[in-house]
Structure 1
Amino acid sequence: MAKIKTSLPESSVIGVKNLKDGEDISHFFKRFYESELSRDFGVYRLSLDALRADIQQYVIEHGLSSLFYNYLTCDAIMHPGFRTDEIEAIVLGIMSKLDGVKHLLIIDGYFYDDQPDCLLLLEKIVRSMSSKLEKVTLITHGKRVSMRPAMHNVFSTVVPGILINDVVTDDFHDRYWIDVESTKGVMVGTSLNGIGKKIAMIDYASSADSREIVRLASGLL
């Protein structure tokens, strides 16, 4: 008995370009369905919204810079046009890659805030990387000192007994979350209170950059 080899149909994203003045995509569909091709193939419009989840997961796994030939860009991955849950999914997905960190270094001049939404986001982030967390060093500009207890309480609630080291200096400008031991890090374009409100980027920091930052901060850890 002869065996018949079959394969499942493949789906692809196919572009259609107009080469004739005066015609648009509606003419393409009309002519397609009037042809014999419509008997064997289905053609439909796919909203870009259908790709949002796939793009979001790719950014979480590989970082935004991977879409731009490994060069960082000021393109907006977090902005008010995204729903809050989409922004949190990206932030938590990337931050959770630091899970396993024992000593977390956070460099953010304006880190401290006591607004409920900011504290809730911090709690979610800390929980996403808390499996082995023992110590956090916070390097800030010393602003908003009155708001420290609220954020310290978040760390202590998620990780009872955690050591919190506060350092005040103006020597650092950019915002980083770095695993001190593995020098694996995340670069964030805004403080927690700006996520979802300002155009900003979150991406994996290069190993070389993370190592250099840890070296420069070594005397403060």
Structure 2
Amino acid sequence: MDIIWQLTPEKENIDYTDIVVKLSNNEDINLRDYEVKQLNNVVFSFKEEIIDYILEHGLSSLINSEPVLEHLVAKGATKNNIIDAMHKYLDKIGVDNELIIIDPYFYAPTTDTTYPNTIELTLDKYLSQVNTLHIITYPNKVDKALKTTIETNLKTKKASLNILHKTSNDYHDRFWISNNREKGILTGTSLNGFGKKYSLLDRLNTSDVRDIIDSLQALGLL
């Protein structure tokens, strides 16, 4: 018999994905910041959320839409595994002429000498349609030589590519957004962090993407 537990955070800014990653890495978890209860009837336990979803998307969407599932990138995953997983999710959201990457450590110093090539191989599939690439990182985590290498590699592939780099301390997680600023994915780590530990890839819902875009615009980052 399957048992379903509901975890409700008792504090703000709690990242539930930390629990999933720790479980995958066989690490101890602490649930003291959560209210924990067993769900006996999933439908009625999420009645309000189901009603809200139907009102926003229509009843037929429950039948016709495909499930949005998290993808766990395993510890020890190869570069090809990582790039394939990124392509799978980027294909799902649909990349258009603009791609926004929010990653505090995108240009950060790294001992991974293959990192610029990983970036190139990940983005190469979409460069034919992408005209503008927005990169938002932490201000104090920029390796100028690495930044130059990455941008030179990408511009070698597409000379007209417009790469706009801005910095902010307001974002902790990594988001990749495209499709008229309506769709996006969440990555549990930077591209050079995948494979070191178990990390998640997940699709963002449209309302969350819109909130992120609103915040970027309010901060003058777009």
Give the TM-score normalised by the residue count of structure 2: 0.61
Offset at residue 213 of structure 1 (A):
0.4
Q: The residue matched to 1:192 in structure 2 has which SS?
A: coil
Is 1:77 the counterpart of 2:76 in the alignment?
no
Q: The residue matched to 2:99 in structure 1 has which SS?
A: strand
Structure 1 gap segments, 5+ residues each: 1-60, 66-75
**C-alpha separation in 2, matches of 1:90 and 1:112:** 21
Is contact 1:95-1:128 (8 Å) kept? no
Q: Which has the higher helix share?
A: 1
What is the CA deviation profile of residues 138-162 of structure 1, one whole-angstrom value per residue up to 9, with x for unaligned ones? 1100213322101112321232211
Is contact 2:95-2:179 (8 Å) kept? no
The answer for the alignment partner of 2:7 in structure 1 is: none
Q: Which residue identity lines up with residue 187 of structure 1 in the other structure?
A: L
**C-alpha separation in 1, matches of 2:67 and 2:85:** 11
Q: Which residue identity lines up with residue 103 of structure 2 in the other structure?
A: D
The answer for the alignment partner of 1:95 in structure 2 is: 90
Distance 1:134 1:84, change over 3 A: closer
**C-alpha separation in 2, matches of 1:98 and 1:127:** 17
Q: The residue matched to 2:72 in structure 1 has which SS?
A: coil
The answer for the alignment partner of 2:39 in structure 1 is: none
**C-alpha separation in 1, matches of 2:94 and 2:120:** 14
Q: The residue matched to 1:129 in structure 2 has which SS?
A: coil
The answer for the alignment partner of 2:195 in structure 1 is: 196
Is contact 1:99-1:130 (8 Å) kept? no
**Equivalent runs, 1:37-186 vs 2, <5 Å:** 63-65=68-70, 77-112=72-107, 115-142=112-139, 143-146=141-144, 147-179=146-178, 181-186=180-185
Distance 1:135 1:83, change over 3 A: closer
**C-alpha separation in 1, matches of 2:194 and 2:216:** 25
**C-alpha separation in 2, matches of 1:134 and 1:174:** 24
Distance 1:87 1:62, change over 3 A: farther
Identity of aligned residues (%): 28
Distance 1:90 1:180, change over 3 A: closer
Give the TM-score normalised by the residue count of structure 1: 0.61
Q: The residue matched to 2:89 in structure 1 has which SS?
A: helix
- How many pairs were matched up? 151
Offset at residue 182 of structure 1 (A):
3.7
Q: The residue matched to 1:220 in structure 2 has which SS?
A: coil
Q: The residue matched to 1:211 in structure 2 has which SS?
A: helix
Offset at residue 107 of structure 1 (A):
0.5
Distance 1:208 1:161, change over 3 A: same
Q: Which has the higher strand share?
A: 2
Task: Please give the root-mean-square deviation of Cα atoms over the aligned residues, in Å.
Answer: 2.3
**C-alpha separation in 2, matches of 1:150 and 1:119:** 7
Is contact 1:176-1:185 (8 Å) kept? yes
The answer for the alignment partner of 2:208 in structure 1 is: 209
The answer for the alignment partner of 2:37 in structure 1 is: none
Q: The residue matched to 2:199 in structure 1 has which SS?
A: coil
**C-alpha separation in 1, matches of 2:119 and 2:67:** 22
